[in-house]
Amino acid sequence: MTENSAFSGVPKSRPCSPGALLLSHASLCPVAYNREALQILVFPQSPEDLAHPAAALTRQIGSRLLSGPCRGIRKFVAQFQSGNRTYQCRILDVSFDGGEKSAPGQMTTLVLLERQTSPMHQLQRQAWEKFGLTPRERQMVELLIEGMTTKEMAQALRLSPNTIKSFLRLVMAKMGVSTRSGIVGKLLESDVA
């Protein structure tokens, strides 16, 4: 999966899926994992370039996710950096049979790697709820925040520029502003947060 859409220079707007790893409790070797976890942990390498993905994951788990032993117990980090992104690391002990006291060989550790949302993204969500923006109006606001012109928005969404202008007028009316910059200003106002 690539970061760019079919339109050159236009990033894909999609929610980030969490990375998930199921590890052997004793060895911390991956039993199962999703592509997102692999991509997060081996960045900047591409998952497709790895000859042995499980071995690469095992190395990364040891170097990036473990904070060091404390009284003989392995501890995972609460968060870590991958490139410019910050991820939360959540740990759950699970067993295959669903029982609480499984044999040590049956215990596994589930690791969830979730991208930390930026303060601007949190402001956007709060504004969407406060002003009752529809999904399409939200999409317009996201593209506006990215600095796109009406023409660029129209090309990216395969809509006419007049349709984009209509949606932006609806957003302005809902937010009580009269300009495109007023939309961004409303997002930054302290009473939205």
Instruction: Say whether both 125 and 162 belong to one domain.
Output: yes
Instruction: Say whether both 110 and 23 belong to one domain.
Output: yes
Burial 82-95 (b: 16+ CB within 10 A, else e): beeeebebebeeee
* % pLDDT > 70, the chain: 76
Residue 169 has what pLDDT?
A: 95
What whole-number distance in Å separates Cα of residue 135 and Cα of residue 80? 31
When divided into structural domains, the chain yields a total of 2
pTM: 0.51
Cα end-to-end span (Å), the chain: 34
Rounded average pLDDT per 10-residue block, the chain, 193 residues = 31 58 84 89 86 88 78 76 84 71 66 76 72 87 85 89 94 92 78 47
92-146 residue pLDDT tens? 888 766 555 555 556 788 888 988 766 666 666 777 788 888 888 888 888 888 7
Residue 19 CA, chain-centre distance (Å), reads 9
**135 is a domain residue:** yes
Instruction: Say whether both 105 and 137 belong to one domain.
Output: no
Q: What phi-psi label fits residue 98: left (phi over 0), alpha (psi between -120 and 50 degrees) or beta?
A: left
In the 8-state DSSP scheme, what is residue 70? E
Residue 97 has what pLDDT?
A: 64
